Amino acid sequence: MRLPWLENNDNLQANLFTLVIHLALFIFMIFSVNWQVKTPYYAEVELWDAIPTQIKPKPLIKRATPKVQKPQPSIAEKIVEAKKDADIQLKKKKAAELKKKKAAELKKKKAAELKKKKAAELKKKKAAELKKIEQLKKKALEEEKLAELQKRLLEDEEVEKVQKKLLEQDDLERLQEELRNKDLAKETRIAIEGTQDLVAGTNSGELEKYKALIQQKIYQNVNKQLCGLDPLELIFEIVLMPTGDLIGGAKMIKSSKIESCDQAVERAILQAQPLPMPQDNRLFSQLKKLKLKFQPNGPIN
C-alpha cells in the first residue's frame, strides 16, 4: 500500500518519532516501573502464600473518632461481585420457574377434577351427596397437597438459599485462589495499583483507621501540664518499623519554645511504642514515615 502523504512529508518522520515517544511515555505513566533499588528493612516474603493472620487491634476507649470512609471496591472485587450477582439471578430464575411449573401443574389438576365432578353430578343424583362428600374429601386432600407443596417449596427455597451461600463461598475462595496464583492477576493488581496511585488511594479507609489508632495511642501519653496555658504547636517526624517501633527516635521539626513541653511530647511519642501498624505491606509503606503535629493547649486560631 502506498502512502504518498507519508513519503512527501519531511516533518513526518520527526512527528512520528514524537508520537511514538509520547505513546511510550504515556504507557509508562500507566504502567510505571520502579527503577529504584529499595533495600528493605525487613525480609521480603512471598505474599499471598497464606492469608495473613490479622492481629485484633485493642478495643478503643470511646472518643470522637475521625470519619472513616466506606472502602470503594476494587476492579477485581467488582468482577467477583458481578459474578455473584449473575449467579444469584440465575438461581432466582430457576426457583421462579420451578414455582411456575408446580403452580401450572396444580392448575391442570384442578381443572381435571372439576370436569369429573360435573359429569358425576349430571349422571347420578343419588350419588350426589356421596359425591359431595367425596368432593369435600378431595378438596381437603387437595388443600393438604397444596399446603404440602407450599411447604416443600419453602423448604426448597431454604435449601436453595443455603446451597447458594455455600456456592458463593466456593466461588469467592476459588476466585481468591486464582488471584493468588495467576501471574495475570498479579499484573492486573500492579496495573490497578498504578491507577490507584494516580487516583490517590482507594484504600483510604484503612489508612485513616490506622492513623486514628496511632493518634489515640500517642494522645494518651501527652502530658499537657508541662506546656503552660498558651496555644502552641510542635511538629515531630518519625520513621517506623513494621513492628511499630521507631527508628532513630523522634525528630523535632518545630519546637514549642518550652523545653519541658518539647520533652513531654517527645516522651509521649516514645512511650507509645509499639505504634499500631497494619499487616498490609502497601498500607505500611504509607505509614512508615509520619509527621506528627501537636497542639496540646487546643487549636491555634
Partner 1 sequence: MKQSFWKFFFLIWLVCISNASHALEVIEILGGKASQIPVAVIPFKDNNAQKSMQLMHEVITNDLNRSGLFSSIDISGVSDYPIDEREVNFSNWAALQSQFIVVGKIDAIGRSNSQMQVTWSLIDIYKEKTVLSVAIKGQPSQYRVIAHRIADTIYEKLTGSKGVFDTNIAFVKKLGKEKYSLFIADYDGHNPRAIVNSRYSIISPRWSPNGKKIAYVSFEKKKPVIYVQDIETGKRTLLANFRGNNSAPAWSPDSKKLAIVLTYSANSQIYTIDADGKNIKQLMRTRSINTEPAWSPNGKEIYFSSDRAGSAQIYKVDVDTNEVVRVTFEGNNNVSPSLSPDGKLLLFLNQDNGSYRVAIQNLLSNQMLKLTNGPDDESPIFSPNGHMVLFTYKDYGKVSKIGTVSINGLKMTPIDVGSETILESTWGPLSD
Q: Which residues bind partner 1 (CB under 8 A)?
A: 14, 17-18, 21-22, 25-26, 28-29, 32, 34, 197-198, 207, 211, 214-215, 218-227, 229, 237, 249, 258-261, 263, 267-268, 270-271, 286-287, 289-299
Distance of closest approach, residue 247 Cβ to partner 1, in angstroms: 15
- The residue among 80 and 277 lying less far from partner 1, judged by its C-beta, is 277
Cell output for 179: 488471584
- The residue among 80 and 207 lying less far from partner 1, judged by its C-beta, is 207
The answer to whether residues 156 and 95 touch, using CB atoms and an 8 Å cutoff, is yes
Pairwise CA distance, residues 213 & 215, whole Å: 5
Instruction: Provide CB contacts within 8 A for 66, sequence distance 6+.
Output: 208, 211, 212
Buried b (16+ CB within 10 A) or exposed e, 122-142: eeeeeeeeebeeebeeeeeee
Instruction: Provide CB contacts within 8 A for 238, sequence distance 6+.
Output: 246, 250, 251, 269, 289, 290, 292
Pairwise CA distance, residues 86 & 167, whole Å: 13
Short-list 190, 101, 106, CA closest to 147: 106
Distance of closest approach, residue 23 Cβ to partner 1, in angstroms: 10
Pairwise CA distance, residues 143 & 149, whole Å: 10
- The residue among 30 and 154 lying less far from partner 1, judged by its C-beta, is 30
- The residue among 66 and 130 lying less far from partner 1, judged by its C-beta, is 66
Distance of closest approach, residue 254 Cβ to partner 1, in angstroms: 12
Distance of closest approach, residue 36 Cβ to partner 1, in angstroms: 9
Cell output for 222: 501527652
Distance of closest approach, residue 21 Cβ to partner 1, in angstroms: 6
The answer to whether residues 222 and 298 touch, using CB atoms and an 8 Å cutoff, is no
Distance of closest approach, residue 96 Cβ to partner 1, in angstroms: 50
- The residue among 42 and 219 lying less far from partner 1, judged by its C-beta, is 219
Q: Containing H/E element for 5? A: helix 4-8
- The residue among 142 and 266 lying less far from partner 1, judged by its C-beta, is 266
